[in-house]
């Protein structure tokens, strides 16, 4: 089997995990309650999911007591989008919460994304805030590791590049993304998702830019992102591939917490787009976690985030040899597209591409591509799109 990627974490597990945390020796935070550092500069909102979200550069506080030491401004909209994202995850996951850490200090007075001397200078209060920001993150990481074994750290930033896209940084620079698959694969051990790509059993190219990568999931929901199947490499465009924090808190050097440096395109985070974007980003994160970490928050067989539109059930049997059954349900008439991708993100089979009325449907896949050629043993992804919503399940084919 495939280690972590084959595990399933249910709502019952989340509830039991929350109840058992004090007995397990973890810091006794209450999920959903805000905890503040000195002077209320840093805020930690604990969660009960293996998801950690931080907003290091969205702060508004500019106390006279702290000198301006950096020539940089605020990542406008990141704090507000982070909170909207948190609310959307809660809504879409039946009340479960991510961990959230926010730096409320204006970035020019304390940047939480550099080593302490560069970030806070010699000012004691700034250095205290820097330490508390990272201590809260470490508390969240410890809670996730203790209860789940692994998880993911997402750091929220903003970009204004003319390419008008999100930049999904996993520690692989444009120089490698612009090259061959083998060149990208040479960076596994230097990436911020080293654990997922090695111990977690997932395909590195799929994590980086496949249909079920974060960029791929966002792009399919209409939010232009790189890397993704539509934008596999940034070329000469803007691209920030990692930061000090994602190296520190991701799994490149050690541990089971992977990390994403997410440079959100600033227009997506503006007030007019924020609610829709945060909702789709939440759905993409939850789907990413379900596919790659086995996190499942389905209730009564329904998928998270889309209970009123359709349900895509897990295929059976899985793993399979010969054929597997894929069942789905529609609560409203929709144009359904059911496709099979390999672990490199290449389309192999289109099973359905037609309007469907409300009802329950069953589709079989025999492990062959569109040309009728049997595919090789491996991991494949079944993606179901209804035009506005997308769901993906992972299947293991044993030839």
Cβ atoms of 355 and 387 within 8 Å: the answer is no
pLDDT at 291: 86
Sheet holding 42-45, edge to edge: 35-36, 42-45, 99-103, 51-55, 151-159, 257-265, 166-169, 225-226
Q: What is the pLDDT along the chain (399 residues), one digit of tens a residue?
A: 233 433 445 444 555 555 555 544 455 789 999 999 999 999 999 999 999 999 999 999 999 999 999 999 899 999 999 999 999 999 988 889 999 999 999 999 999 999 999 999 999 999 999 999 999 999 999 999 988 889 999 999 999 999 999 999 999 999 999 999 999 999 999 999 999 999 877 789 999 999 899 999 999 899 999 999 999 999 999 999 999 999 999 999 999 999 999 999 999 999 999 999 999 999 999 989 988 888 766 433 344 444 445 788 888 888 888 899 999 988 888 899 999 988 777 889 999 999 999 999 999 999 999 999 999 988 888 888 886 667 778 788 888
pLDDT at 332: 86
- The domain locations on the chain are 3-293, 310-397
Phi and psi, residue 53, nearest 5°: -125, 130
Highest CATH level, class, for 3-293: alpha beta
Please name the CATH architecture into which domain 310-397 falls.
Sandwich (2.60)
Closest to 361 measured CA to CA, from 330, 385, 320: 330
Regarding beta strands 257-265 and 151-159, do their DSSP bridges make them parallel or antiparallel, or are they unpaired? Answer: parallel
């Amino acid at each position: 089997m495939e280690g972590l990627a084959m595990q399933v974490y249910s709502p019952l597990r989340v509830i039991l995990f929350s109840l058992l945390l004090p007995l397990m020796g973890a810091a006794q935070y209450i999920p959903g309650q805000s905890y503040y550092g000195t002077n209320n500069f840093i805020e930690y909102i604990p969660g009960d999911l293996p998801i950690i979200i931080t907003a290091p550069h969205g702060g508004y506080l500019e106390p006279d007591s702290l000198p301006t030491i950096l020539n940089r401004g605020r990542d406008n909209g990141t704090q507000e989008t982070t909170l909207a994202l948190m609310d959307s995850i809660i809504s879409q996951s039946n009340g479960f919460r991510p961990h959230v850490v926010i730096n409320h200090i204006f970035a020019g007075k304390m940047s939480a994304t550099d080593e302490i001397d560069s970030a806070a200078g010699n000012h004691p209060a700034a250095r205290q805030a820097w330490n508390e920001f990272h201590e809260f993150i470490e508390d969240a990481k410890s809670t996730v590791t203790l209860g789940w074994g692994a998880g993911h750290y997402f750091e929220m930033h903003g970009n204004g590049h003319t390419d008008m896209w999100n930049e999904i940084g996993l520690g692989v620079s444009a120089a490698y993304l612009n090259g061959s698959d083998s060149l990208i694969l040479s960076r596994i051990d230097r990436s911020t998702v080293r654990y997922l790509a090695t111990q977690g059993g997932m395909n590195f190219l799929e994590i980086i830019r496949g249909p079920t990568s974060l960029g791929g999931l966002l792009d399919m929901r209409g939010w232009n992102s790189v890397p993704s199947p539509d934008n596999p490499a940034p070329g000469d465009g803007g691209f920030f591939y990692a930061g000090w924090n994602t190296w520190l808190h991701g799994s490149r050097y050690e541990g089971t917490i992977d990390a994403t440096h997410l440079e959100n395109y600033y227009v997506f985070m503006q007030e007019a787009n924020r609610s829709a974007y945060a909702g789709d980003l939440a759905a993409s994160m939850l789907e990413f976690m379900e596919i790659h970490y086995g996190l499942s928050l389905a209730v009564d067989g329904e998928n998270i985030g889309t209970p009123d539109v359709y349900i895509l059930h897990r295929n059976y049997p899985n793993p399979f040899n010969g054929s597997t059954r894929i069942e789905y349900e529609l609560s409203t008439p929709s144009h359904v597209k059911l496709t099979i991708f390999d672990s490199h993100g290449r389309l192999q089979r289109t099973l359905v591409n037609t309007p469907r009325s409300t009802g329950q449907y069953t589709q079989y896949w025999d492990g062959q591509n569109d040309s009728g050629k049997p595919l090789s043993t491996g991991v494949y992804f079944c993606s179901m799109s209804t035009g506005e919503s997308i769901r993906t399940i992972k299947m293991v084919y044993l030839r």
